[in-house]
């Protein structure tokens, strides 16, 4: 199976991190192919034995099947009545198990005690945002008694509150490829957001428990017939003929919501929950995929392990403060239709193929009421892992005021562009105040201003990390003081330096001179050289106080 470019880059990055660390993390969105990625890693570490840990039964069999397809290796399941060990000469090269299975057993040792840590060379934690919990830590610590073990965690966008804790479990982040990256590269469909204001919907008195809205309090609000009536009626009008998933706050709310949908059109909706018989749930989802049901309401069972690219709308019948939960719910709809992006070789071609397909985007519907002190998650949060807080706030305000669906990807891009433009105008005003003969020096030059970059948001797992000597040396050679930038900022500047080298753009040292004399820094290396040579010939003076247009230096 051919890997996508970002999967291949992530796989290489993992092995690079393992040269210095025993554990590393990859952030990759739902629908981005995390299982394919770690299956490739398993293939590359063979003949070392691998153990994959997940936390839901649905994920176990999906992982087993994909691992066997990608690697050609036999993968065995350790869960419930399934046993993976078959004696010394029949040991499976890959074991897939749930965290519950590993910890099960009255003696506290769990079924993990039947495995010898020294027999495994690789431990993979799927949905690694759970790895901070005591049960996961216990299992990880058990297998880490093997000093030769390498650990890989894979997760979609985690909660920001989890980031620092993840940094205590994983020593590094090998690759960070998020939802917005995948949409820009044409692997996932654009996300549209619509916010529906529901009269009387009030979350202000709901307590916060373990970082999210208290389940009982939330259910009490969202099981109210009036609220459900308004939410379901609005949803019917919004979705038209599109297939939709509804996530509810309780089993009762799922059943009631489906019943209200069916008042609008008989046979329109059904519902499932964790207690739904496994075979019945499988049959219901098969019927949903075949078009018998337009809407499936669910309480907490379709957040992970459910893949149906035909889902076009996700209706958030339960608000949340958890970015990882919101990301999982939205991820049920971000996959393009089968085959749409498999042929095109460029991002633009893939995006054009998606736009021309029967599923050009997905829609996320949130219901807005009085949220009180709560900061509820929207699609801006899951798209904005690398986007500034100010841009996210602008985009959310735009969507909230729109009264209809807004492409959140474009809203974030536009907000970032507006902020860059404001910064550019402020810089232009500064340059306009330069006199023609001005010569000035600065004691401290901000490299982000020089390169027209917005500093990246520091992720929790990077707190306390230091730049390597090689990274510090590279920055210093470019004229950037490594003592004045954080680990995240340093990495961002290095990435920009390499981008400029690869694109034959002007260097940081050239950009610093151009900016000093009021010129655009987004020019080629050759153009920057010509401009600087012209400045030198002109006695280091500009011909005019007004900044020259890009690519059009004017001399005396």
Check whether 319 has a pLDDT greater than 80: yes
353, 302: one domain? yes
Percent of the chain with pLDDT over 90: 51
DSSP per residue, 88-100: TTS--SEEEEEHH
**Any domain includes 265:** yes
pLDDT score recorded for residue 75: 86
To the nearest 10°, the Cα dihedral for 342, 185, 10, 325? -100
**Any domain includes 117:** yes
**Any domain includes 391:** yes
Q: How far is CA 533 from CA 104, 505, 520, 525, 550, in A?
A: 72, 16, 15, 12, 16
404, 457: one domain? no
Residue listed under structure tokens 């399934």: 82
Contact in structure between 247 and 203 (CB atoms under 8 Å): no
The number of folded domains in the chain is 3
pLDDT score recorded for residue 547: 46
Which band of pLDDT confidence, cut at 50, 70 and 90, is reported for residue 25? very high
**Any domain includes 306:** yes
Domain termination site, one of 415, 444, 469: 415
- Cis peptide bond upstream of 541, omega within 30: no
Residue 155: CB atoms within 10 Å: 24
120, 238: one domain? no
Percent of the chain with pLDDT over 70: 91
First-to-last CA distance in the chain? 61
Domain termination site, one of 119, 154, 177: 177
Phi, psi of 261 (to 5 degrees): -55, -40
372, 454: one domain? no
Contact in structure between 138 and 429 (CB atoms under 8 Å): no
* CA distance linking residue 139 with residue 53, whole number of Å: 9
What tens digit of pLDDT does each residue of 40-62 get?
999 999 999 999 998 877 788 88
What tens digit of pLDDT does each residue of 136-193 get?
999 999 999 999 999 999 998 777 667 778 888 899 899 999 899 999 999 999 999 9
User: Going by DSSP bridges, is the β-strand pair 208-209/362-370 parallel, antiparallel, or unpaired?
Assistant: unpaired
20, 120: one domain? yes
Mean pLDDT of all residues in 481-503: 89
64, 160: one domain? yes
Residues in a beta bridge with 320: none
199, 76: one domain? no
pLDDT score recorded for residue 86: 54
Check whether 304 has a pLDDT greater than 90: no
pLDDT score recorded for residue 433: 63
Half-sphere exposure of 170 (CA within 13 A, CB side): 32
205, 336: one domain? yes
**What does the longest C-alpha to C-alpha distance in the chain come to?**
87
CATH assignment at residue 222: 3.40.50.300
**Any domain includes 295:** yes
Cβ neighbors of 522 (< 8 A, separation 6 or more) are: 452, 505, 550
To the nearest 10°, the Cα dihedral for 87, 91, 96, 102? 40
Check whether 442 has a pLDDT greater than 90: no
Burial class of residue 407 (count of CB atoms within 10 Å of its CB; 0-12, 13-18, 19+): middle
**Any domain includes 530:** yes
207, 318: one domain? yes
Range of the domain at 10: 5-177
What tens digit of pLDDT does each residue of 229-286 get?
999 999 999 999 999 999 999 999 999 999 999 999 999 999 999 899 989 999 999 9
pTM over 0.95: no
Check whether 129 has a pLDDT greater than 90: no
pLDDT score recorded for residue 441: 39
pLDDT score recorded for residue 244: 97
* CA distance linking residue 196 with residue 361, whole number of Å: 19
Contact in structure between 364 and 191 (CB atoms under 8 Å): yes
Burial class of residue 200 (count of CB atoms within 10 Å of its CB; 0-12, 13-18, 19+): exposed
171, 209: one domain? no
* CA distance linking residue 60 with residue 80, whole number of Å: 12
Domain termination site, one of 142, 177, 212: 177
> Hey, what are 164's tokens?
């620092």
17, 163: one domain? yes
**Any domain includes 471:** yes
Q: What three-state secondary structure class fits 413?
A: helix
**Any domain includes 183:** no
Q: How far is CA 449 from CA 14, 444, 505, in A?
A: 32, 11, 16
User: Going by DSSP bridges, is the β-strand pair 23-27/191-202 parallel, antiparallel, or unpaired?
Assistant: unpaired
205, 270: one domain? yes
């Amino acid at each position: 199976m051919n890997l996508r470019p970002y999967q291949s880059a992530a796989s290489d990055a993992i092995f690079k991190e393992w040269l210095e660390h025993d554990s590393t993390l990859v952030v990759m969105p739902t629908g981005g192919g995390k299982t394919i990625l770690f299956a490739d890693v398993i293939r590359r570490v063979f003949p070392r034995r691998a153990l994959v840990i997940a936390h839901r039964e649905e994920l176990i069999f999906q992982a087993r099947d994909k691992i066997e397809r990608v690697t050609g290796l036999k993968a065995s399941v350790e869960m419930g009545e399934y046993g993976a060990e078959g004696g010394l000469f029949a040991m499976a090269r890959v074991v897939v198990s749930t965290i519950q299975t590993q910890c099960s057993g009255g003696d506290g040792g769990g079924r993990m005690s039947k495995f010898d840590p020294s027999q495994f060379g690789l431990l993979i934690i799927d949905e690694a945002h759970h790895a901070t919990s005591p049960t996961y830590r216990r299992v990880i610590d058990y297998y880490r008694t093997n000093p030769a073990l390498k650990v890989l965690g894979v997760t979609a966008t985690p909660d920001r509150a989890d980031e620092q804790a993840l940094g205590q479990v994983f020593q590094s982040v090998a690759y960070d490829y998020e939802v917005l990256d995948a949409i820009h590269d044409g692997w996932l469909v654009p996300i549209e957001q619509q916010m529906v204001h529901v009269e009387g919907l009030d979350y202000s008195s709901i307590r916060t428990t373990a970082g999210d809205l208290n389940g009982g309090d939330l259910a009490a609000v969202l099981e109210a017939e009036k609220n459900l009536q308004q939410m379901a009626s609005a949803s019917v009008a919004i979705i038209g003929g599109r297939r939709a998933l509804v996530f509810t706050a309780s089993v009762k709310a799922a059943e009631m919501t489906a019943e209200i949908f069916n008042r609008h059109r008989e046979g329109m909706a059904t519902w499932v929950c964790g207690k739904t018989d496994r075979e019945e749930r499988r049959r219901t989802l098969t019927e949903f995929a075949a078009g018998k049901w337009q809407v499936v309401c669910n309480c907490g069972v379709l957040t992970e392990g459910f893949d149906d690219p035909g889902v076009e709308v996700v209706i958030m019948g339960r608000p949340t403060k958890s970015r990882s939960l919101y990301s999982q719910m939205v991820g049920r709809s971000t996959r393009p239709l089968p085959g749409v992006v498999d042929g095109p070789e460029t991002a633009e071609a893939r995006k054009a193929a998606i736009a021309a397909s029967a599923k050009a985007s997905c829609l996320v519907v949130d219901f807005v009421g009085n949220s009180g002190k709560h900061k509820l998650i929207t699609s801006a949060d899951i798209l904005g892992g690398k986007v500034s807080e100010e841009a996210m706030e602008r985009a959310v305000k735009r969507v909230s005021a729109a009264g209809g669906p807004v492409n959140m990807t474009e809203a974030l891009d536009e907000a970032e562009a507006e902020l860059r433009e404001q910064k550019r105008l402020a810089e232009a005003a500064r340059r306009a105040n330069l006199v023609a003969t001005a010569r000035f020096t600065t004691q401290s030059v901000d490299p982000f201003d020089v390169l027209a970059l917005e500093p990246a948001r520091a992720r929790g797992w990077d707190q306390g990390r230091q730049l390597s000597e090689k990274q510090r040396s590279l920055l210093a050679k470019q004229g950037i003081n490594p003592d004045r930038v954080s680990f995240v900022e340093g990495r961002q500047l290095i990435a920009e330096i390499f981008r400029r080298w690869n694109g034959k753009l002007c260097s940081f040292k050239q950009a610093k001179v151009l900016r000093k004399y009021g010129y655009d820094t987004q020019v080629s290396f050759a153009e920057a050289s010509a401009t600087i040579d012209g400045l030198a010939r002109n006695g280091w003076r500009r011909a005019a106080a007004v900044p020259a247009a890009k690519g059009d230096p004017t001399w005396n």
